[in-house]
Amino acid sequence: MELRLERTSVLDCATDCLVVGITQGDSVEPTGTELDTLIAELIESKDFKPTLGAILVLRHPRDLSAERLILLGLGTADKRTAFAEQEAFIGLGKQLKSLPIREATLDLASLTGGQASSVERLGYGIEWAQYQYTATKAKKDEETTELGALILLGDASHQVALQTGLTLGRGANLTRHLGNLPPNTCTPRYLADQAMAMAERFPTLDCEVFDEDAMTEIGMHCLLSVSKGSDEPARFIILRHQGAKDPNQAPKVLVGKGVTFDTGGISLKPGGGMDEMKFDMCGAATVMGCMQVISELKLEANVIGVIAAVENMPSGRATKPGDVVQTLAGKTVEILNTDAEGRLILCDALTYVERFNPEAVVDIATLTGACLVALGKHNTGLLSTDDALADTLLQIGREVGDPCWRLPIEEPYQKLLDSNFADIANIGGRDAGTITAACFLSRFTENYPWAHLDIAGTAWFSGAAKGATGRPVPLLVNWLKSSA
């Protein structure tokens, strides 16, 4: 999307669409004499109430050169959290997408108060809303006029922030697209091919893919136990971004769960809603989205993205409840439930990344339905053995509108994973399922700072709006940027 800076006033913008933000309060924030009068009249007549996210579109507004005027309600300052503001900007993006316009002019002073973080969220919201899934539709939706340019009333720093937001939005949309693809398209091999193609696009990016023979030789028997029942072979994918001036700088590492479809295996899931288990690879999709963003931004840091990609199916070859397998770390696991498969692939991945001598590791996984029960669709579950890392992620999440909430990892929960027949069981019973899953992973992360993001509640929408959300790409990219 083309970006242009202009110094003209809101009254003189000859544009397809002028967008102005209105804060809810006792008086109208000054934009221009005639426009202020128009807005005050609309509020007084109750034709427009500037609650957060409210939108009014006017055609040929009086005293303006713009063909259309969009008023975006911003609510009161005390209610405008980063998350709520982000939702309002996504709503604006959807409105812009629905109009037959090729350009829009954004009055950044009224929309964002000139705050770089808000400008970035504005760009993210507009780009996020441009996404439309058409990949497997025979009849495409009716063609709409594509929004090709944004004209900014602001300064050069605002242009940089908006461009960053647009880039972040594109990364989230890649994550959404990979999540939305059907499981007969988006297989472990497909993810590996997409990672290789991404590495070819960016000079700072390198990709390495292990097939099942290579994983067997390495000793990733726990990961491979999940893919045994499937005709689709597993893949272990490593994307390296070398952006730091010091090539030996310790990398931050993202590890993504990539179960491209999860039937539950022999511990078969109920049929209702099983189609949504194509989203069980949204952790892997998040890693892909993040790696694209940091590559486009040319982030001056070393980052490694790791994806463990498998398909979990029942068959005569599938792993059975009661089987015992050996992990890459040498520990044995009693598999009591084959539907607790995410931790089985992640434990080998988390063991493997130790060889990178990482600064910190964050894994991202649609790991437990218990997290959805505990936290719903708003907060991502956060569990960590490192308080400093957890605090940083919590703070960044609140600041960028991609929130998470911390749950404990404590010794009494670890005891729930005791097994009579192996070093560790892969489930700990009905209680505290999200916590015991993280406790399992923590056994393989003792040699570096580590945090776990359970995105089972936040990775996708259900119902009429079914589709991947792109979270937690904003949280993780801003974490990666924080020490660059």
Are the beta carbons of 215 and 234 closer than 8 angstroms? Answer: yes
Angle at alpha carbon of residue 312, lines to 307 and 317, rounded to 5°: 125
> Residue 198 — very low, low, confident or very high, per pLDDT cuts 50/70/90?
very high
Written as one string, the DSSP assignment of 82-121 is HHHHHHHHHHHHHHHHHSS-SEEEEEHHHHHTT-HHHHHH
Taking 70 as the threshold, does the pLDDT of residue 439 lie above it?
A: yes
- At residue 7 the predicted structure's pLDDT band, cuts being 50, 70 and 90, is confident
Query: How far apart, in whole angstroms, are the C-alpha atoms of residue 352 and residue 444?
Result: 10
Q: Tell me, what DSSP letter sits at residue 201?
A: H
Owner of token pair 């629905």: 98
Q: How many Cβ atoms sit within 10 Å of the Cβ of residue 399?
A: 15
Q: Which domains occur in the chain, in start order? A: 2-154 (3.40.220.10), 174-482 (3.40.630.10)
- C-alpha to C-alpha distances, 47 to 40, 41, 57, 136, 357, nearest whole angstrom: 10, 9, 11, 41, 60
pLDDT score at 63: 85
pLDDT at residue 27 is higher than 90 = no
Q: Give the tens place of pLDDT for each residue, 307-365.
A: 999 999 999 999 999 999 999 999 999 999 999 999 999 999 999 999 999 999 999 99
Q: What is the pLDDT of residue 263?
A: 98
* Mean pLDDT, residues 256-263: 98
Contact 241, 299 (CB under 8 A): yes
The answer to whether the bond into 321 is cis (omega within 30° of 0) is no
Rounded-to-10 torsion of CA 471, 477, 483, 484 = 180
pLDDT digits (tens, 9 = 90+) for 107-165: 999 999 989 999 999 999 999 999 999 999 987 666 667 899 999 998 888 999 999 99
pLDDT tens profile 39-59: 999 999 999 999 999 999 999
Q: Tell me what pLDDT residue 33 has.
A: 78
pLDDT band at 429 (very low <50, low <70, confident <90, very high): very high
Q: What is the model's pTM?
A: 0.97
Nearest to 451 by CA among 387, 396, 402, 400: 387
Query: Does the pLDDT value for residue 224 go beyond 80?
Result: yes
Q: Catalytic residues, which ones? A: 269, 343
Across the range 425-445, mean pLDDT stands at: 97
**Please, are residues 476 and 364 in contact by the beta-carbon 8 Å criterion?**
yes
Can you tell me which residue has the tokens 């405008």? 80
pLDDT at 26: 63
The per-residue pLDDT of the chain, averaged, comes to: 95
